[in-house]
Amino acid sequence: MPSERDVLLVVDVQNDFCPGGALAVPDGDQVVGAINALGRRFAEVVLTQDWHPADHSSFASQHPGRQPFDTITLDYGAQTVWPDHCVQSTPGAAFHRELALPHAALVLRKGFRRAIDSYSAFRENDQRTATGLGAYLRERGFARVYLAGLATDFCVAYSALDAVAAGFTAVLVEDACRAIDLNGSLAPAMTRMRDAGVTFARAADVI
């Protein structure tokens, strides 16, 4: 059972990552039921919301000759380019309509700087620009972060790794996440998390 030092971090459960969305994660909408059930067990819930300007540098459309899912080099290094997704204030950027976490105290938007993508809820892809979430959670007295949402191998994995790097215990609720699995990206993401000390749980074990 979660304690008062535990927080549930719900990553990017937005229309564009669900079936029919611009960057649909296979079965992405299937996480909603488990996340709602988890949410009822946590006094503290934080949501992240991928939130890009229309000309965001992670969009393939901004790089002539590039296709979605290509890898390009930006100032800070390699960056996968994606279909345009989660554009600020569009329906695709809205949370899935059945997500029911009314008590969530913080919605953390990320990826709003044109030149820097942000998979992680803690730190942007330049690996320097902090989002402030680590300081927020520490000041609020949390020690352990449970993670759920989309996508396991991108925003969830980067968030879990950075949670550990920031000194938190991180627990990935595996069946409350779904992966993009781009060119087999899920397996190495799971290995990196395990090696970093992220632990894995099933929603039924937490609920």
Which positions are catalytic?
12, 110, 155
Token output for 118: 């942000």
List, in order, residues 6 or more apart from 159 with CB less than 8 Å away.
9, 11, 48, 119, 120, 121, 122, 147
Our CB check for Zn ion shows the closer of 6 and 58 to be: 58
122 binds, among ligand VGL, Zn ion, none (CB under 5 to 8 A by kind): none
Which helix (H) or strand (E) segment holds residue 51: the answer is: none
Per-residue binding letters, 105-124, with Zn ion (x by CB under 5 A): ------x-------------
* Site membership for ligand VGL, residue 170 (CB under 6 A): no
**The one-letter amino acid at 100:** A
* Site membership for Zn ion, residue 50 (CB under 5 A): yes
Our CB check for ligand VGL shows the closer of 4 and 148 to be: 148
Token output for 144: 């352990």
Min CB(180)–ligand VGL separation in Å: 7
* Site membership for ligand VGL, residue 51 (CB under 6 A): no
Per-residue binding letters, 122-151, with ligand VGL (x by CB under 6 A): ----------------------------xx
Residue 145 CB-half CA count within 13 A: 31
**Cβ(5)–Cβ(140) under 8 Å?**
no
**Cβ(187)–Cβ(160) under 8 Å?**
no
* Site membership for ligand VGL, residue 155 (CB under 6 A): yes
Residues of this chain that interact with Zn ion (CB under 5 A) are: 50, 111
